[in-house]
Amino acid sequence: MSWPVVSSRYLHRDDWVVALREDVITRPGHPEQFSRISLEHPGAVIVMAVDEHERVRCLRQYRHTSGHEFVELPAGLRDAADEPPVETAKRELREEVELEASDWRLLLSTWSSAGISDEVHDIFLARGLSHAPRGDFEMRHEEAEMEVFWTPVTDLLEAVLQGRVRQGPLAQAVLAYEVLRQRGTLEAH
């Protein structure tokens, strides 16, 4: 479903990832026009990598936009043309935390902020982990300062429920994992 668009113009567009667009739209069957700002984004993948000891591979990374350091999961942009989301997830897991997984499962696919952006997050569960070299990927900028660590799933769940860990995709992944665990639909690895 799409409401009628009277006009569109780009407020910002560059060679990186996002574009900011202003659309003038109308409600179906109504002449009143109004504008909405849209952040165009290619989408992202997030990987909850869980080892045989029920520990999650996490990152601690500074994010300039919010001015905070966050506990996050390995993640990356869907910026490689026509690459399936699971392949992007595999690449990001290898590049960011030097792991590969033998078992992949889509946990969730969510809109990051549907009122302002078309960004979709594909959140994967990765199991059957082993070391994998990063290859020629170079950690730069904020990534160069990332701390990589393991934490038990139960501790991460408590941190989310207590509001100490507030990064959205991580919270969604941990909560979905717990629901599936309680239902008995996760295979042990």
Domain boundaries, the chain: 5-40, 44-183
Q: Residue 56: count other Cβ atoms within 10 Å of its Cβ.
A: 23
Q: What is the residue-level pLDDT of the chain in tens, covering all 189 positions?
A: 789 999 999 999 988 788 999 999 999 999 999 999 999 998 999 999 999 999 999 999 988 888 888 999 999 988 887 899 999 999 999 999 999 999 999 999 999 998 899 899 999 999 999 999 887 877 666 776 789 999 999 999 999 999 999 999 999 999 999 999 999 888 654
Q: Provide the CATH topology of domain 44-183.
A: Nucleoside Triphosphate Pyrophosphohydrolase (3.90.79)
Say which of 95, 143, 158, 178 is annotated catalytic: 143
pTM to 2 decimal places: 0.89
Cα 63–Cα 65–Cα 70 angle in degrees, nearest 5 = 30
CB atoms under 10 Å from CB of 108, counted, come to 17
Active site residue 100: no
